[in-house]
Structure 1
């Protein structure tokens, strides 16, 4: 039976109106995060993640942790260690933390390299020994600190443990919990790292917590909240006068904490030994805080962007790994906290690419050179004080991919108390 024209019009009007309302609601719900936008977004992200990384998640290939080499053309299949002609490297050894090239022995490893780029020792890092509840292929070794007895301490991205292992990779102690990013020694038997939004000091010998400073409760709220504006950048404005501001997802992303050691304190007269410098990626903030009061003594947003790894330097300056995410050219910046003058120690160029959109570490060496960790391209560089590349080391997985490297650390030739770490060859070299 044919519907009257008025009924057809009404039905068409209803369908068009419903579609228009659905479209408007879809736009608004996506903007404000109303149902079902978050659920649809999460389902889409899950689909993409599974389709791209299913081989990783069942232990076939570590696709979550493989990266493209930083190269202007087709990756060279024989790339690896290259010493540039006419350059002089800093004598000593380099520890490299990241994904292991021998997945049958351990998912992660810390490797010790000599001046020729050859591996002389390996610490297998078996995450499942510290946290049996989380698949090791779905976390990532990140922070690493080394000790004179040949042991190392490690943390993990999206993991749930911090651990110290001996020179054979055997657990000396481990602590469950959301420890993350960097680890630094304080020179007095302690190590500093992040636990969620807490800066924590652990006894390096036992892993016991000896001090904790919470970012929101102890620092943001210090001075009756006078410091809040320094931190409250990633927030959503309330809709009414009665509501409070709410933080957006991951508003701080803390990624480094380092204590000013007594042997360097004289170079920083505006600070005191024991003060803590920390880095918050999302507000592009580097700051120094009195850990006893939570009061900031110095702070600055930028010019770095999504930065990592600020370091106190012996000359009274602070160096920062400026990821410059999105600019395709990372930099090492140096700032004088007294007058805030910023200089560039090293930056990537078209001829010498250097870029990691996330992660990244640097170390100023005794001869003035810089050791750089280009994490998201699986490459290490040493550069001179004049910006000349001394050597590069691609951590190769296969012809097209490198392994992610998250930390590199130079140590002197006489760093280890009992000589080079050694263990059963099968364990030490992962063969």
Structure 2
């Protein structure tokens, strides 16, 4: 499944040596109708990107209209519910059927309930990035302020470190201090492979401060964090055997990442302090997206990578070689739309044929 603007699509292999992809199902999204009463909250929904999505087995999809809210639609693209809470970037399903979603405050703030007198050293109003726990029917169950978590665990030094020396003796002059871009729960099926963590712990990515951490959402305790190997990263995933895999954008000062060699997949094993660069290798084709970007570890050992700014999805083998690639159709001679997400799902054509409004012929799939 890939997500971009203004649609989400189910793509599937067409067979043959060229690894072509056929469109299996489209969800059409009318962004102007998503949040008609929310235009003054964080921007115009008609202009915002669709960023972060999660496909359910029955064809329902949850997705975010960036910094506006989360929407659930069915396979017929009919809206089932809307949650206008400034949601953005990521939607991850927990084992109990609820969802963890990146969110933000509805206005610029200088305080929180835990810090009613303000955050020491931060005087200017900020967007408070939040982790939202959302029920299957679209109710906000819990809201966790990420800045609260950093201060409570004495991790605010990473904010200072990220904004020096530019800030000098002053606070950083930005309203987007952290830029939360992913929240990922650890499932019980692999929790025993992570000696430092327990099922239900959350992996969190903060792009602006090059920071990934794992914490217990019930207690707020941060159990592990890393910063050094990353530059403007996205999408930390628990990938088994104690490893956390991260899409490291590796942003530099050049258009195609020539200075540092492009975007990477960095794997970190918290209980051993081990770090590996899984992609690229000497056999890899160039891949770089200075912003956005997603990845997925596939069961066969391959990796699925979304080179978002290039509108490209590529599957690579463990040795870094390209297995296949797909590029979204250009909308002008020199420009393509972004591809925000690419995920492989364990669904057959027969499964898709059973969805309402499916374009897949059920008779030919059985």
Using a 3 Å threshold, how does the CA distance of structure 1 residues 135 and 220 change in structure 2: closer, same or farther? closer
Q: Which protein has the bigger helix share?
A: 1
For residues 342 and 155 of structure 2, the distance between their equivalents in structure 1, rounded to whole angstroms, comes to 34
Matched position secondary structure for 1:402:
coil
Residue equivalent to 1:154: 63
Q: What are structure 1's unaligned runs of at least 5 residues?
A: 1-94, 100-107, 240-244, 426-431
Using a 3 Å threshold, how does the CA distance of structure 1 residues 174 and 198 change in structure 2: closer, same or farther? same
TM-score between both structures, scaled by the size of structure 1: 0.68
Residue equivalent to 2:336: 402
Residue equivalent to 1:334: 267
Residue equivalent to 2:30: 126
Residue equivalent to 1:391: 324
Matched position secondary structure for 2:32:
helix
Matched position secondary structure for 1:114:
strand
2:204 touches 2:213 (CA, 8 Å); kept in 1?
A: yes
Using a 3 Å threshold, how does the CA distance of structure 1 residues 419 and 286 change in structure 2: closer, same or farther? same
Q: Does 1:276 align with 2:222?
A: no
Q: Does 1:412 align with 2:357?
A: no
Indicate the RMSD between aligned Cα atoms, in angstroms: 2.2
Matched position secondary structure for 2:134:
strand
Matched position secondary structure for 1:167:
coil
TM-score between both structures, scaled by the size of structure 2: 0.80
Deviation at 1:293, TM superposition (A): 2.4
* Residues 230-271 of structure 1 deviation map (CA, whole Å, 9 limit, x = unaligned): 3443554547xxxxx566442211101111111121110111
For residues 195 and 174 of structure 2, the distance between their equivalents in structure 1, rounded to whole angstroms, comes to 37
Residue equivalent to 1:49: none
Residue equivalent to 1:222: 152
Larger radius of gyration: 1
Within-5 A mapping of 1:298-309: 298-309=224-235
Deviation at 1:414, TM superposition (A): 4.1
For residues 264 and 299 of structure 1, the distance between their equivalents in structure 2, rounded to whole angstroms, comes to 19
Deviation at 1:141, TM superposition (A): 0.7
For residues 254 and 111 of structure 1, the distance between their equivalents in structure 2, rounded to whole angstroms, comes to 25
Within-5 A mapping of 1:257-406: 257-326=183-252, 327-328=257-258, 329-347=262-280, 352-398=285-331, 399-406=333-340
> How many residues get paired?
313
**Residue range with higher mean Cα deviation, 416-425 or 160-169:** 416-425
Deviation at 1:126, TM superposition (A): 1.8
* Residues 345-390 of structure 1 deviation map (CA, whole Å, 9 limit, x = unaligned): 1127797120001000000111111111000000000111121111
Residue equivalent to 1:139: 48
Within-5 A mapping of 1:165-314: 165-196=73-104, 197-204=129-136, 206-217=137-148, 219-222=149-152, 226-234=154-162, 236=167, 238=169, 245=171, 248-314=174-240
For residues 182 and 250 of structure 1, the distance between their equivalents in structure 2, rounded to whole angstroms, comes to 17
Matched position secondary structure for 1:272:
coil
For residues 176 and 416 of structure 1, the distance between their equivalents in structure 2, rounded to whole angstroms, comes to 34
Within-5 A mapping of 1:21-100: 95-99=1-5
**Residue range with higher mean Cα deviation, 342-351 or 193-202:** 342-351
Deviation at 1:144, TM superposition (A): 0.5
Deviation at 1:282, TM superposition (A): 1.1
For residues 283 and 336 of structure 2, the distance between their equivalents in structure 1, rounded to whole angstroms, comes to 20
Deviation at 1:214, TM superposition (A): 1.0
For residues 124 and 292 of structure 1, the distance between their equivalents in structure 2, rounded to whole angstroms, comes to 37
Q: What are structure 2's unaligned runs of at least 5 residues?
A: 15-20, 105-128, 360-366
Matched position secondary structure for 2:88:
strand
Using a 3 Å threshold, how does the CA distance of structure 1 residues 135 and 250 change in structure 2: closer, same or farther? closer
**Residue range with higher mean Cα deviation, 373-382 or 126-135:** 126-135
Using a 3 Å threshold, how does the CA distance of structure 1 residues 194 and 416 change in structure 2: closer, same or farther? farther
Residue equivalent to 1:111: 9
Q: Highest relative contact order (Cα 8 Å, sep 6+), 1 or 2? A: 1
